Every structure is written in C-alpha cells, then in structure tokens.
C-alpha cells in the first residue's frame, strides 16, 4: 500500500484534441490551447498529446506540430507526446522534430513513444508504405533514436537539431512488452491504465522488479493514465460521461465518430453485450466519474493501490466549459 495521495504527486493532462459533433479541427486546437493555459495556471505538471490517425474525432494526428503550438501558447508546463507511435516514422525524422521542439522550448519537451500503429492496417500502410515492421524491431528503433540524441553519436547520419540534447524519452504501453523494455533501458514508463485497467498491476510489477538504473533515471518512475469526468454532482458527471462511452464503443466496433453530446439513456441505444463491454473497461478503478467528493475518494484509492509516481488525466467531455470545470475540480483537490 502507498502513503501517497493525489495532492502529493504530480498530475498531468492527456489531450486527444477531441473534435466534437458539429465542430472541426480548428475549434479543437483552440480548445486545447485554452485548456493548456488553464491547467498550467492550476499547477498541472505536463500536457501530452497522442498520435492517432484516420479518427474523425481526434485532431492530434500531426503530433509534433500541435505540441509546438501548445508549447508556444504556454510558459512553463512540460509539453510532449503521449505518444508518438515510433513504427510509423523514420527515427531520424522524430529525432529532428523533437530536437527542433526542444531547441525552441528548452527543458519543456517530453518524447513519449509507443509501438502500436495508432490506426487500422490500411492507415498503417499509408503511413509506412509497408507492414513489415515487427514487434521485435521496436527495441532496435529505440536504440537508433537514442543514438541520434547522443553528444558523441556514432551514427553516420546526424540529427540536426537533436544531437546532444537531453530530451526525456518515455516508453508507453498497455501490456508487459514496454514495461519490460522500459525496465531494461532504465526509462520512465507510462502505462495506459485508462483503457487497459486489467494489466495495470502486472505491468507495474514487471517494470519495478526488473528496473535497471541508467543515466536517464536512477529508480523506477511510473505515470498512469486515468479517465476522470468530474462535475459538481455525481448525476451530472454520469451524464457527461456518456460522451466518452459513446466514443469508446464506436472505436471498439470499428466505427469511430466525432465526440458526441451526452445522452440521457444509453440503454436505449445499445445492446446488453455492448453495454457490458463498456462496463468492463470504463467502470474500473482507472475511470473515475463523479462529484469532487467521489473523485477524491476514488483517485486516492487508485493511487494507494498502484503507488503511481504521477497521474495523467484524460477527460473526453463534449462541452469545453464543462471540460475546463472537470480539470478545475481536480486542481482544487490537488491544491
């Protein structure tokens, strides 16, 4: 058990740059800037954006571009990727992009990387022009990426800017693979407990038990993803959460949509089997829906059970003012 609580560990933001029904990407980016500026003022630690492709409801496909936009609109908060899907890119390009970001915004950029495609097979092919990349290739890609950032890089090709810059590299995962690799490389680890709750504790145990200190990190550091929909009452939060639940089911069924407005009764829209799928993932300890009192109780319990070093919060809420209010509630609890 942990003696930590949410007001003693850093809290951060995971932004999927949601495009709402009736909205567009331009409005999404404006909302992201507004949210980033508010959470910076409220004391949040970092602001990450996630790479997704071919998703009508997610605008952060050009992840490094929107990271630069957010960093330019804020002053101190760390900004980064949660994450960049490395198999979709040439490692040199990622080193150059994040080297450029770090040069523009010194000591504020995080490079979180994952090995999932962040898309379907057709989109992965459009990005890579080949599907020959295997899971076994990812460690070699990571090694190549790290080499580009070294001051005394032995690579025949140099990343300019990038070479000699100390950009924190995080590994992201939803299974044991990245947990094991993070441990072997001595890197910070961010686990996607917000959509893979059943694997959270096994992945954390694997990471912590096998961790090898490195120049980057002397001891394990784990940041966990949590869905939080906070409102002034439990009833309002439950209603707001139906937007995220609709989005989740759309992705699960292979029919992603823009983020839809809340509805009064999900039972009228879906089958019992579909509702059960939502219940299993979204009603876990890593999805918290409720009033300030409910959020405080459940988030404290989650931190206590996982001994998380940091929490990164995803809040898929349709209305921007309501989304800001949700993060403000968490900030009030934190402060």
Q: How confident is the model at residue 215 (pLDDT cuts 50, 70, 90)?
A: very high
Q: What is the CATH number of the domain that holds 186?
A: 3.20.20.30
Kindly state whether residue 204 falls inside one of the protein's structural domains. yes
Kindly state whether residue 5 falls inside one of the protein's structural domains. no
Kindly state whether residue 140 falls inside one of the protein's structural domains. yes
> pLDDT tens digits, residue range 18-44?
999 999 999 999 999 999 999 999 999
Average pLDDT along the chain: 91
Kindly state whether residue 312 falls inside one of the protein's structural domains. yes
Q: How confident is the model at residue 120 (pLDDT cuts 50, 70, 90)?
A: low
Q: What percent of the chain has pLDDT over 90?
A: 73
**Residue 63: DSSP 8-state:** H
Q: How confident is the model at residue 1 (pLDDT cuts 50, 70, 90)?
A: very low
- pLDDT at site 194: 86
Which range among 62-76, 79-93, 265-279 shows the weakest confidence by mean pLDDT?
Answer: 265-279
- pLDDT at site 273: 78
Q: Across residues 176-184, what is the average pLDDT?
A: 95
Kindly state whether residue 170 falls inside one of the protein's structural domains. yes
Bridge partners of 224? 191, 311
Which range among 14-28, 113-127, 210-224 shows the weakest confidence by mean pLDDT?
Answer: 113-127
> pLDDT tens digits, residue range 231-276?
999 999 999 999 998 888 887 777 889 999 999 987 777 777 777 7
Q: Which two tokens stand for residue 273?
A: 């089997």
What is the torsion angle, in degrees rounded to the nearest 10, for the CA atoms of residue 28, residue 6, residue 41 and residue 332? Answer: 100
**Count of other CB atoms within 10 angstroms of residue 66:** 23
Kindly state whether residue 1 falls inside one of the protein's structural domains. no
Kindly state whether residue 223 falls inside one of the protein's structural domains. yes
pLDDT of 137 higher than 90: no
Residue 62: exposure state from Cβ atoms within 10 A (0-12, 13-18, ≥19): middle
Domain that holds residue 286: 11-334
Q: Across residues 114-135, what is the average pLDDT?
A: 67
- pLDDT at site 292: 98
Count up the domains in the chain and report the number: 1
Separation of alpha carbons 288 and 294, rounded Å: 8
Q: Across residues 282-286, what is the average pLDDT?
A: 74
Pairing type for strands 189-191 and 78-85 reads unpaired
Peptide bond into 83 cis (omega under 30): yes
Angstrom CA distances, 197 to 37, 178, 284, stand at 30, 15, 7
């009033």: which residue's tokens? 291
- pLDDT at site 282: 63
**Residue 87: DSSP 8-state:** G
Q: Is 139 helix (H, G, I), strand (E, B) or coil?
A: helix
pTM for this one?
Answer: 0.93
- pLDDT at site 252: 75
- What sign does the CA torsion over 64, 310, 45, 258 have? positive
Kindly state whether residue 2 falls inside one of the protein's structural domains. no
**First-last CA distance in the chain:** 23
């Amino acid at each position: 058990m942990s003696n930590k609580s949410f007001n003693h560990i850093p809290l951060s933001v995971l932004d999927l740059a949601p495009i709402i029904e009736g909205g567009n990407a331009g409005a999404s980016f404006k909302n992201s800037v507004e949210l980033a500026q508010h959470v910076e003022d409220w004391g949040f630690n970092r602001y990450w954006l996630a790479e997704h492709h071919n998703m009508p409801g997610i605008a952060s496909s050009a992840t490094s571009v929107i990271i630069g936009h957010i960093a330019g609109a804020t002053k101190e908060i760390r900004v980064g990727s949660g994450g960049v899907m490395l198999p979709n890119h040439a490692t040199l390009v990622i080193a150059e992009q994040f080297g450029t970001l770090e040069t523009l915004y010194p000591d504020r950029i995080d490079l979180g990387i994952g090995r999932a495609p962040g898309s379907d097979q057709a989109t992965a092919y459009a990005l890579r022009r080949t599907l020959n990349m295997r899971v076994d290739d990812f460690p070699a890609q990571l090694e190549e990426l790290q080499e580009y950032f070294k001051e005394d890089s032995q690579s025949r090709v140099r990343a300019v800017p990038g070479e000699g810059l100390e950009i924190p590299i995080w590994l992201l995962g939803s299974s044991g693979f990245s947990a094991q690799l993070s441990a072997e490389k001595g890197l910070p680890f961010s686990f996607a407990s917000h959509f893979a709750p059943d694997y959270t504790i096994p992945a954390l145990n694997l990471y912590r038990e096998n961790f090898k200190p490195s120049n980057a990190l002397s001891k394990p550091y784990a940041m966990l993803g949590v869905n939080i929909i906070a409102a002034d009452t439990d009833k309002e939060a439950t209603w707001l959460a139906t937007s995220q639940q609709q989005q989740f089911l759309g992705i699960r069924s292979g029919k992603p949509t823009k983020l839809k407005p809340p509805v009064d009764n999900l039972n009228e829209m879906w089958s019992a089997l579909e509702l059960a799928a939502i219940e299993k993932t979204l009603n876990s300890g890593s999805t918290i829906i409720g009033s300030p009192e409910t959020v405080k109780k459940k988030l404290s319990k989650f931190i206590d059970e996982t001994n998380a070093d940091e929490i990164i919060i995803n809040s898929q809420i349709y209305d921007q003012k309501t989304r800001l209010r949700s993060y403000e509630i968490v900030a009030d609890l934190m402060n």
